[in-house]
Each structure stands twice: as structure tokens, then as C-alpha cells.
Amino acid sequence: MGSPGCSTTHSVVIFNGVFGALMPSDPIPDHKLKMQAILPGIGNISTLWRAPLTDALLPMVSGRVLWNLLPKEHDNAWVCPTASTTRTMSVRFLDEQPRAPRTPRRFTTVNHWNKLLKGALVRHILLTGADEPDALGEFTHPEGYVYEAGLTEVIDGRVMISMVRPQR
């Protein structure tokens, strides 16, 4: 969602269980409320935010490239636009697993360090204005993950990009 060197102030939205959607420059108090929390009398936080976040964000992203790097519980807090209105790209980080000779490659999805891994990717996207998967071909991730075009696929209208850390 932007051009090379674009400011995070205008192109990054952060989902938050208390405040809904924030820009990086928004001042907020120290707090903790997970998006998947269930509050008595209110219910699931992501369900509570779904309509307001969808209504606010769809006009912002319509007709643009959207890098949706949200974890699952945050992605449930809105209705992601359809492929007909917005080109949405998501990224998964995979670790290649050891294998016997002449057997297919195997991967495990990285879940634990996702925020850290995605942070370096967000920086690259913002600095380069990347708006297609192949733009990640030049990206050197600090943890050794590389873009694998052959593993990129379209799932439910969303381009799912694979960043793979080769077996060591």
C-alpha cells in the first residue's frame, strides 16, 4: 500500500483489541487485551470489532495492493476485501525440513517468531514500495528466509507468498 520510501504514518494500520485500528504514530497507554479475548456481556473481541473495522478500512484499501500480515486472530476482526476490489497478499514463513535423497521437500510453518519475521519484511515493503510477490526476490531476510516463487499460490483469492529458510 504505497510507493518506495512511503511513510508508515499513512500506509500501516495496526489492529488492537482495545482501540480497534491504530496508526503507528497514535499515542496509546500501556495495556493488554488480546484480540481473541472473550469478555463477559460483550463476547469475542474480534467479533466486536468486525463491522467497524471493515467499514472503516474497506474504502482505504479498495483498488490498492494490500499486504495483509495479520495473525489469524487479528485477521478475524475484519472482512478482508475480495480479489475483485483489492489485490491482497499474505506471507507465510516456512522452515525446510531434512529429507532423504530423492524425496519431496517438506516444510513446517513458523508460528512462534512471526512478529519478528514479519517486521523485517514490512520494513522492506515500505522502503521499496513492493506491490507484487516477485518484488521479494531481492529481499534478504536477516534470519535467512528467501522468497520461493514456486511455492506462491492463490488461496481464496488471496496471494499466499512463501518465504523459506533452507535446510541448514
pLDDT tens for each residue of 55-86: 999 999 999 999 999 998 999 999 998 888 88
Q: Which domain holds residue 30?
A: 8-165
Q: Cα separations (Å) of 37 from 26, 52, 77, 144, 167?
A: 23, 18, 12, 34, 37
Q: Which residue has the cell 480479489?
A: 83
Q: Tally Cβ neighbours within 10 Å of residue 95.
A: 17
Whether residue 92 lies inside any domain: the answer is yes
**pLDDT attached to residue 6:** 55
Beta-strand pair 158-165/65-67: unpaired
Whether residue 24 lies inside any domain: the answer is yes
Whether residue 43 lies inside any domain: the answer is yes
**pLDDT attached to residue 2:** 47
Low-confidence ranges of the chain (pLDDT < 50): 1-2
Whether residue 34 lies inside any domain: the answer is yes
Single pTM value for the model: 0.84
If one counts the domains in the chain, the total is 1
Residue 34 in contact with residue 144, Cβ under 8 Å?
Answer: no
Whether residue 19 lies inside any domain: the answer is yes
Whether residue 17 lies inside any domain: the answer is yes
Residue 38 in contact with residue 44, Cβ under 8 Å?
Answer: yes
**pLDDT attached to residue 123:** 92
Whether residue 33 lies inside any domain: the answer is yes
C-alpha 25/C-alpha 71 separation (Å) is 21
**pLDDT attached to residue 140:** 86
> Quick one: DSSP state of residue 64?
S
Whether residue 2 lies inside any domain: the answer is no
C-alpha 23/C-alpha 107 separation (Å) is 34
